[in-house]
Chain A
Amino acid sequence: MLKVIRAELRKLRRPSLSLSTILTVIGTSSLVTSLLFLLIDSPQGNAREGQRISREILQLPSGVVVGFNNSATLLGVVALCIFAAQTAQEYTYGTLRNLLVRQPSRMKILFGKLAAMKIFAIVMVIFSAIVSIGLSYALAPTAKVSTALWTNSDGRLAIQQGLLNVLISTIGFGLFGMILGLLFRSPISSISIGVIWILIIEGLLSAVVKNIDKYFPGQLLSVVAVGGTEKISYKYALFGSYSILLLGLVLVAFLFKRRDVAN
């Protein structure tokens, strides 16, 4: 499987993909973090869905990673697109047959690709964390937010937890993209269906049907990223989201193993 991982990383590190991803991640993290600090006094809110995150909350040890945590859904969408495209394009380019001739074990191909994309996601998240946390320090004085508690042991722990949670969430979104890629075997279909589901359908249904968000992978992964909410606990979100994804992965792995490669 190591050979598959190395081969996949060779594809992922190409400048057109890696640079565009890094630029997207920088843009996303910078935007979310900047709005958090620059709109701190805005009555329209400074976070997702018009939420207001006050100066007092940002001054807590965990305040250092609020911007980073809030970027998680958008980072997740980026991961979803990359995982879906990298998986589905093997079908559209017809390259899957080359891979399978060189490595006939389909499970090694599948899990090797997944492992390589996880590594790519880790790099992406670390990059985002550096940009977001750096920007938080830079913008804190402008927003009159004290950073005194950010550097103590609680602050460092908050950074570690935030990094881990966003990582788990981002990989979950990526896994969702990979499942869609294997299911639809087309980058355009899998990305559009995935993004529309995560950003629109889940949100709309959650607003209309009470408690349905407890069963949506996107909603649960967003909760994982922020370490849990009052409504949905961290443990429930983690277990729930990954149970759904695991089920999906088992299904598509079965299909991937059994399907004829006829294109």
Chain B
Amino acid sequence: MRAFASICLSVLSVLVLSWALPMLYDTALLSPLAKTHIFYSPVLEQCIYTEQIRGYDQQAAAKSEGHHADIVYKDEAGQYYDRLAFEAALPFIYYRNMEMRGLLPVTLRGKTLDRAAIEQARRVLELPARHLDGHHPPQPCLPLLESDPGQVALLYPADRFRLTEQGMLFTHADTNEEETALSHLFSTALAAQGFAFPARHVGGNFSTFKPYEGGIFMVDAQGSLFHLLRRNGEPVINKIVLPQGLVPRHVLVSESKERLWLGLVLDSQNRLWLIRQRDMALIGLDVPDYLPDAMDCKLIFDPLYLTVVTSDKALVQTTVFDLPAAERKSGDICRPFHTFRHEMSRARESWQSRLADTLFPFRLGFVQEETALLYPHLSLSRHWLLNALPFCLLLAGLWSLLQYRQSGNGLASWQGRAEAALILLTGLYGLVTLLLLKQKE
């Protein structure tokens, strides 16, 4: 019974330590690095990026002039830049600094662009993996904003809806009870347009901090896409004509002043489609190697290009397109003219990460970048065979030697062998566990 109880406590202790010790180590020595910021420079006509590094980079330090030597500015050819040169290579990003330095308007590809033109065209759409359904706790009770509130600012509605098998059901916040008349109005209107309840996905920008209300998109039970706008309390429904083979999975809505692109559709084949505001046409983007469940995606629009930046934990990829023409047909797919992949500095090894991979044969974690949900997961040391295992072997040997000198029972007894095996398999975690559990005779 003693052995059984000891095993139970040892398993628990090893699990707790495999979470706590690496976490404490990371807190003390291994500061997390943000993802690399990468752009397409219209001046250099290649990609240029900035990232924080661990350790020392002589060329970066020389460019930094003694200030923030851990921030590197480089282009895809490997050439280093200082901060001012980096900003000058990205006039569409740092246009306000450019204007202050008297470098605007700028002429690129035969177009002369001033601050107003850049501001008009610039926008960013972001689709992080953790925003996808199944990657965060569900929130099925949503607001539907009035698109014509009769004033400049948008108003937050006093009711919320949910899409169930029974229809679109509204609940009023004042009474916390269902609004049967409104529910009936919207449910009937949707059913008349062929909407099959319940919805698979609802996409919208549920905020009043935007220039106008662009409505919401709903994917029904059969995979059809519907656009719904609330205008003067009435539903305005539009069934979107989908290109052949497109089954929407997620819709990102982001209203902007230029009113050209309303958002983005991610389909079941991991393809991205821009939604044109004017006619709800879907224009495809051919982004190679994009895995939405593991990658964050960012679309950067500027007056000349559309840059799609996709990144997982270690790699960032830039795919650059000419800005899609307004007259493109729905279903057209844009092809990129430039792509660039780069291993981010956060994925590179440092002495701190190598030491961690030696000390800890495995670690238990809960947080993962691609999901807001917390799952326990064990990950093996990246250098288990070469670093962690020899270290565990050393610890097990030392423990056995110590036991032999103290009691004369090293590996001779089954208990000694079991203890050595525990340390061999779990390293420091097993050692600390035994130190705490070992009773004085």
Q: Do A and B bind each other?
A: no
